[in-house]
Amino acid sequence: MAGTELSIKRIIKVWWPLAASWMLMGLEGPMMTAVMARLAHPEISLAAYGGVVYPMALIIETPVIMLLSASTALSKDNNSYRLMQRFMMLTGISLSTLHFLVAVTPLYDVVISDIMGAQPEVATTARIGVLLLTPWTWSIAYRRFNQGVLIRNGYSGVVGSGTIIRLLSNTCVLAIGYQLGTIPGVAVASAAQAMGVVNEAIYIGIRVRPVLRKNIYPVVAEETLTTRAFLKYYLPLVATSFLTLIWQPLGSAAMNRMSQPIESLAVWQVLSGYIFINRTLGIAFNEVVVALLDGPAAYRALRRFATYLTATLGVVFTVLTLSPFLTFWLQDFAVLTPDLVQLGLATAWIAIPVPALTVLQSWYQGAILTGNETRGITESTVMFIVAAVLVLAFGILWGRGAGLYYGMTSLLAANAAQTIWVYFRSRPMMRSMAPVTPA
């Protein structure tokens, strides 16, 4: 029992800074939404940012998004760190260059107008936002890679401090843009996002240096990480992040082809931020499982913690969504028009199970990552995309009702399918970790 109690205390010690970091990060989207909603042409800005700029940035960054999990699991010695660092630098610079080319060349019209099907006024407005987010991918790669080193070596609190730096940077830019009142909302939000991730990356880079000197550089492992082993571990994670994040532009493209496209994308931006904040505590649990599951007496404590967290988030999000709080969020915080508020209220309830499902995903995925069997996560993401595409395709073919209904339904169906799949794929690892009950 003492071992279990110790494990629970350690879980909270590791999880809470990460959870606080994710929660603070979750405030970023709503802050930008609130500012865009109070500047000129709010519907167009919200649709441009939520339907083009942010999904575009996410899809380009997919090869680096899982560096946090990989670094947490594999940054054990100097050679392993150096190998992953080279990969991070090369990939980050290459993808940032691609991002810039999309923003300034005819590729923009092909990707945004032809493939994503953005409305003309939305595509035109979004272009400045895409350009301003050029530093995004490299900054994310550098920050997430070094955050993994910090988490692995017991400095998860630094991650939360970095998020505060990011949020303060966002706030300063948003405040300036709001006070000026003449800059398009999508440009203000994109500039704030870019400034935030750059400053956070600089801060993490400074804070990781003493950790590297003390814990990484002096360590030489007999069996160090090879390029082949790293790619075998990491490429399934890249496929996973690509399939997960492609859902954002896929959903936008689908809603652009359904009824009320601009209205749906405007409310989608607001509801996405609202749902994401409520998912953050569950998202943070993934790195906790990766860091702690192979420790003594960890399985039972982590399972218990996952159960409590799943139930808590399920109840809290249900109460918030079905209470007047959601009306406040849509009407007073996001300043949506009455018609858009009604659209949001009519669709938000569909996503009620999503935060609870997020905790379960982190629990099962963390077990899979601990067992170095990342293929199961990729398979689960394929299930995510298949479920989402089926719902979105039905919405396009059926053609009845606002696209937001189908967007929310696809979010729920995709998360449910992914959770079920990682549950089954994590069973072997869970059985090997579970304590044996004496006969």
Whole-number Å distance between alpha carbons of 273 and 330: 11
Query: Positive or negative, the Cα torsion across 142, 147, 152, 158?
Result: positive
What Å distances lie between residue 246 and 74, 124, 228, 283, 385, CA to CA? Answer: 26, 22, 26, 18, 8
Q: Nearest Cα to 119, choosing from 267, 271, 268, 255?
A: 255
Chunked into runs of 10 residues, the chain (439 residues) has average pLDDT values of 54 84 86 93 92 89 89 85 93 96 94 87 94 96 94 85 93 96 94 96 95 81 79 82 78 90 92 93 89 76 93 97 96 93 96 97 90 80 92 91 94 96 91 62
Q: Nearest Cα to 285, choosing from 308, 315, 318, 268?
A: 308
Cβ atoms within 10 A of the Cβ of 90, count? 11
pLDDT of residue 78: 85
pLDDT of residue 8: 74
* Number of residues that make up the chain: 439
Strand pairing partners for 402? 259
State residue 134 phi and psi, 5-degree precision.
Answer: -55, -40
- Whole-model pTM: value is 0.78
pLDDT of residue 159: 86
Q: Which residue has the tokens 């109070």?
A: 38
Cβ(112)–Cβ(118) under 8 Å?
yes
Cβ atoms within 10 A of the Cβ of 349, count? 12
What Å distances lie between residue 99 and 49, 108, 434, 438, CA to CA? Answer: 16, 10, 45, 57
Q: Which residue has the tokens 């980050």?
A: 92
Whole-number Å distance between alpha carbons of 385 and 380: 9
